[in-house]
Amino acid sequence: MQRMSKEEVLEPLGKSRFGCFYLLSFLMSVLGVVMFTAGFFTDSASRTADGYSLRYFFFIFGGIWALGWLLPVLLMFRIDSVRKKYREILLQQGQFGRAVVLKSEEVGNSEGSPVTVKLRLEIHLEGLAPYQVEEKAEIPILKLPQLQVGSTIEVLVAPAIPGVHMGAIKLIYK
C-alpha cells in the first residue's frame, strides 16, 4: 500500500470549521453596528413604548449585539490560525513514523462522534531514539479499535524544537 503524502494527511487541517458561522456573525455584527450608529442620529427626546430613551436603547443593544457576535468570530479566527500554524509545522518539518499506544483513555463525550481520547504514545522515528508523548485527539468512533493499548499506528511527527515550537503530531488511520 502506498503511503499518503503530507498534504493528503494534513488536508483536513487546512479547512476552516466555521465558514458559514463567519458569514452569519459578520452580518449580525454589521446589524449591531448599524443599530449603535443609529443612536447618534436619534433625537434625544425620543422614547421607547415603555418610556426609556430610544438613543440609549440603540447604544446599549447595538453595542451588545455587535460585540456578542463579533467576539466569537475573533475566537474562531484564533483557533483557525493555530490549526494553520500546526499544519505548517507538520508540512515543513514533519516526518512519518510509527507510534505504539501505551495508554488510551476516553476523556470526552462518548455519545457522539468523534470521541476525545487521551493517548500516551511511544514515537519511533528514523534516526531518533524512541520517546513518549501524551496527546489528546478527536478520534472517529469507528477508528477507536485501532488505538488499543499495544497497537501500532502510523503518525506524522514534527519533534519539538526548544524555543521554536512544542512539536506536533498527526495520527494516520487506515
Contact 29, 69 (CB under 8 A): yes
For 36-44, the CB contacts below 8 A with 24+ separation are 36/62, 36/63, 36/65, 36/66, 37/62, 38/62
**111 compared with 140, residue with greater pLDDT:** 140
Segment 139-174, tens digit of pLDDT: 888 888 888 899 998 888 887 665 554 566 676 766
DSSP per-residue codes, 21-32: HHHHHHHHHHHH
Kindly state whether residue 156 falls inside one of the protein's structural domains.
Answer: yes
Q: Are residues 16 and 87 in the same domain?
A: yes
Q: Are residues 52 and 104 in the same domain?
A: no
Q: Are residues 57 and 15 in the same domain?
A: yes
pLDDT band for position 69 (50/70/90)? confident
| Number of structural domains found in the chain | 2
Q: Which of 91, 113, 144 is the last residue of a domain?
A: 91
Domain hosting residue 10, numbered range:
6-91
| CATH of residue 149 | 2.40.50
Q: Are residues 101 and 75 in the same domain?
A: no
Kindly state whether residue 131 falls inside one of the protein's structural domains.
Answer: yes
Q: Are residues 138 and 159 in the same domain?
A: yes
**Is it the case that residue 40 has pLDDT exceeding 50?**
yes
Sorted by sequence, the CB contacts under 8 Å of residue 152 that are 6+ apart come out as 98, 99, 100, 101
Q: Are residues 18 and 78 in the same domain?
A: yes
Contact 42, 54 (CB under 8 A): yes
Q: Can you give the pLDDT at residue 38?
A: 93
Q: Give the pTM.
A: 0.61
**SS3 assignment, position 16:** coil
Q: Are residues 136 and 60 in the same domain?
A: no
Spatial separation of the C-alpha atoms in residues 139 and 105, rounded to whole Å? 12
Q: Are residues 104 and 69 in the same domain?
A: no
